[in-house]
Amino acid sequence: MMDKQSELDEFVGLQAGSQFLQSWRWGEFQRAVPRPVQRWGVYHGERILGAAQVFEHRLPLGKKYWYVPRGPVLDESLPPDQYRGAARLLVETIVAYAEKSNVMFLKLEPAWEKIGETVFKAVTHGWQIKKVDQVQPTHTWILDVGPTEEQLLAAMHPKARYNIKLAERKGVHIRSVETINDFDAFLSLTAQTARRDGITTHSHDYYRTMHRTLAGKNFLRLFSAEYEGKIIASNMVVFFGDTVTYLHGSSGDARREVMAPHLLQWHQIQEAKKGGYAKYDFGGVAPAHDQDSPHPWDGITRFKQGFGGHGVSFLGAFDLILDPVWYTIYKMAQKAIIR
């Protein structure tokens, strides 16, 4: 097992498109939720070849499963054979301990783009695997922030660029100095967003725990958009490795015409550039689909795509089944609850 924060974060953070869900501090937040956390690594001498941070989710009747979000993470510079071998050894090791711990299944959600599907099949060969609904978004939208601000603005959709300038003209002010009022406003705006858009959000206690354990040291930052002395939009943003990630966003029902969310995103992109980060991750977007069949995320997808950038698609989520009988009972119970 890995037991050094610097070791895990340096390895995960050095991989392109760094995955903050595999960072040490995200693990400490999960521990505070509370969920047991395990950290595994594969080495060649002193060199780390791969790592996986595993979170335990407990179920009724004493059952449980282990979850690896956006992982395992492998050294992207490895030759293909070594890459597959390191991934296989890492999964084998986790599975061996999971079986001893009476784990029902291991949920894997690797941050490999579709080019890695062959690798994933090789890594999981011999186990019973079932593709399941995503936990983390399968499709995300990424902006490379290397170009100048002028180039970034020029590459945006004209409407997005116009809305940024409109918010500036209207006097919307962005700040990231956090007070208790900022966080309380975020919670209030999140509730308004959920009611208005019909989405499910986390509990206030979950957000409070997240903020308490992750804020500071330039990891989790809260950005607020103020208009006429009142916070009308607020976002939580994670800074890790080479990537800044838009994690949670909220906006109020009032004064939507001043386009505060557009200026808020632009300010966050500017902060990514100032910090020397390579990418800005807008998070989940809708998959490509027939325009005659609307997707619930179409609106937020148009908003994110308006800033320029490109889409990234991952393999999705998979359950590696260790207890087929109980897994079948678990899935049947899930279906009964949904009905």
pLDDT digits (tens, 9 = 90+) for 33-79: 999 999 999 999 999 999 999 999 999 999 999 999 999 999 999 99
Same domain, 280 and 318: no
Q: Which two tokens stand for residue 339?
A: 């009905």
Say whether pLDDT at 336 is over 90. no
Indicate if 194 and 233 belong to the same structural domain.
yes
147 upstream amide cis, omega within 30 of 0:
no
Residue 80 has a CB neighbour count (10 Å cut-off) of 10
pLDDT confidence of residue 63: 95
Counting the structural domains of the chain, the total is: 2
pLDDT over 80 at 17, yes or no: yes
Find the CATH number of the domain harbouring 218: 3.40.630.30
Residues 143 and 78 in one domain: no
* pLDDT above 70 for 114: no
Q: Give the predicted TM-score (pTM) of the model.
A: 0.94
Q: Which residues pair with 277 in a beta bridge?
A: none
Same domain membership, residue 171 and residue 259:
yes
Does one domain contain both 282 and 292? yes
Looking at the structure, tell me whether residues 258 and 177 fall in a common domain.
Answer: yes
Examine the domain organization and report whether 175 and 115 are in the same domain.
no
Q: Does 230 score more than 70 pLDDT?
A: yes
Please give the residue that has the higher pLDDT: either 116 or 272. 272
State the residue range of the domain holding 61.
5-136+314-338
Same domain for 302 and 323, yes or no, is no
Judged against a pLDDT cut of 70, whether residue 339 lies above it is answered with: no
The model's confidence at residue 338, banded by pLDDT at 50, 70 and 90, is low
Residues 214 and 15: their CA atoms lie apart, in Å, by 21
Residues 309 and 213 in one domain: yes
Q: Please report, for residues 162, 214, 226, 227, 288, the alpha-carbon distance to residue 177 in angstroms, rounded to integers and kept in the order given.
A: 26, 15, 12, 16, 38
SS3 at position 142: strand
Gyration radius of the chain's alpha carbons: 21
Whether 62 and 183 map to the same domain: the answer is no
pLDDT one-digit tens code per residue, 121-180: 999 999 999 999 999 999 999 999 999 999 999 999 999 999 999 999 999 999 997 777
* Separation in Å, CA 238 to CA 55, 72, 210, 220, 221: 19, 20, 11, 5, 6
Does 115 lie in the same domain as 14?
yes
**How confident is the model over 79-88, as a mean pLDDT?**
94
Q: What is the pLDDT of residues 251-280, one digit of tens each?
A: 988 899 999 999 999 999 999 999 999 999
Same-domain status, 10 and 111: yes
